[in-house]
Amino acid sequence: MCWSATADLVAGSAITAVGVACVARAARTRPRALPLAALPLLLGAHQIIEAVIWNDNGGRGPAVLAWAVIALPLLPFWVPAGVLCVARPEARRRLWPLLACGLVTSAALAYTLATRTVTATVRGHTMAYEIGLPHAGLLVAGYLLATIGSLLLSGEAGLVLLGGLAGIAAAVCAALWRWEFVSTWCAAAAVCSLVLFAWTRRAAATPTNSSGGPP
């Protein structure tokens, strides 16, 4: 989320370009890393979709629903699944519960999207999305545990760094959004995408064992 359509479009295009580079590198060197390498593509598309929402001045159109699908049910499943694909065997045992948590959270969020209407509203320099989540506290906890938790427990230094940055960014962005001052998630998404780009480069230089993970 950025503070204007232009900012979202510029940030989304840049993040998407990073995602293309990540996917190209992972496809050549470490196919198991493709789900995580594709994450910047999702984040970039997310920003570009929000540029459309800004131009529509919010509302309830298809762009709002597409934004919500990526933000809500997709990411809490995608991130832990991607981490599990590249984790060492000893790390996978602690990651399976987080993937299960992500699946439950994604299912609950998908059901909510199917039964309720998402509304986007311009508030100051931010875009607010309202859906009326039931048991919001539990869903947020499950979301953060599945996404940030799986990165922190991945056992890979680059992904642990990404998890720490994502946690800090989530707290800062939430505070700034609450004050309706400015949305900074686009900057956080850009930083996280660059960390993933660096991680794919290091992963490309690391020999893999027969199971597809690093030795």
Domain CATH number, residue 171: 1.20.1070
Task: With respect to residue 77, please indicate whether it lies within any of the assigned structural domains.
Answer: yes
Strand partners, 139: none
- Tokens, residue 119: 């509304």
Q: What is the model's pLDDT at position 205?
A: 64
Q: What is the model's pLDDT at position 68?
A: 94
Task: With respect to residue 95, please indicate whether it lies within any of the assigned structural domains.
Answer: yes
Task: With respect to residue 140, please indicate whether it lies within any of the assigned structural domains.
Answer: yes
Q: What is the model's pLDDT at position 202?
A: 82
Task: With respect to residue 210, please indicate whether it lies within any of the assigned structural domains.
Answer: no
Q: What is the model's pLDDT at position 171?
A: 83
How many structural domains comprise the chain? Answer: 1
Q: What is the model's pLDDT at position 210?
A: 38
Task: With respect to residue 39, please indicate whether it lies within any of the assigned structural domains.
Answer: yes
Q: What is the model's pLDDT at position 180?
A: 46
Task: With respect to residue 211, please indicate whether it lies within any of the assigned structural domains.
Answer: no
- What residues in the chain have per-residue pLDDT under 70? 1, 175-184, 204-215
Task: With respect to residue 85, please indicate whether it lies within any of the assigned structural domains.
Answer: yes
Q: What is the model's pLDDT at position 9?
A: 93
Q: What is the model's pLDDT at position 175?
A: 67
Burial class (CB in 10 A: 0-12, 13-18, 19+), 209: exposed
- Which structural domain, as residue segments, surrounds residue 137? 5-204
